[in-house]
Amino acid sequence: MDMLVNSFPMVLRGLSVTLLLGVVSFVLGSVLGALVALARISDFQILRGAAIAFVSVFRGTPLLIQIMIIYFGLPQLGVQLTPIPSAILALSLFGAAYLSENFRGGILGVDNGQWEAASSIGMPYWRTFRRIVFPQAIRVATPAVGGRFIALMKDTSLASVVTVVELTRVAESIGNSNFRYMEAFLMIGAIYWIINSLLSVGQGILEKRMGKAYV
């Protein structure tokens, strides 16, 4: 307890950075993931191929390697990013690859009869998608998307390798200062657990509220 009290300002700053990384990366990853999902189901072969390649690359390589490439590799190409934007970019791209599959699964989970019924009354494709398919797809995809948000929040710990002072980096700093590594990492691990437990509860509430319309 004395460690938490003494290091509280540092932990609070690290927590704010962790939440920033997780929330911003999830939002950006969701937007990009939705676009990739639409490209995956597109009739245009070029878009579909590009989306498949994107998902294959970012799901098939470790997030740690992606962070290192963006932070250490891009400067060789003349693109210099500071630690936090580098981490957000890597987390967003990585998250988008997984979220795109979650969204695609949700879209494909909507019965084809919904499309056919809308088409039979002359409703355009994008209006059908926006008003009929998308709301149902989100409901189907919510559990998987919520799980990805929780996983992404934990993945923010990898940002510490590029000197981002988030919770994991804070734990390392606390351990270096007093050599109480066990207590430092257990304390930070408990904070991660609390964050993700709250997210799990929020996800459960959201799923129940979204499901009421279909009961």
The alpha-carbon radius of gyration of the chain (Å, integer) is: 20
pTM beyond 0.95, yes or no: no
Q: Which residues are within 8 A (CB) of 183 and not within 5 positions of it... i.e. 6 or more apart?
A: 3
Average pLDDT estimate for 24-53: 93
CB atoms inside a 10 Å sphere around CB 11: 21
pLDDT above 70 coverage of the chain, percent: 96
Domains and CATH numbers, the chain: 2-212 (1.10.3720.10)
Q: How far apart are CA 73 and CA 80, in angstroms?
A: 9
| Amino acid making up residue 196 | N
Q: What is the token pair recorded at 167? A: 């919770």
Q: 138-175: per-residue pLDDT in tens?
A: 888 888 999 999 999 999 999 999 989 899 999 999 88
For residue 37, name the pLDDT band (cuts at 50, 70, 90): very high
- Across 73-96, b (16+ Cβ under 10 Å) vs e yields eeeeeeeebebbebbbbbbbbbbb
- pLDDT tens per residue across span 85-128: 999 999 999 999 999 999 998 888 887 777 777 778 878 877 88
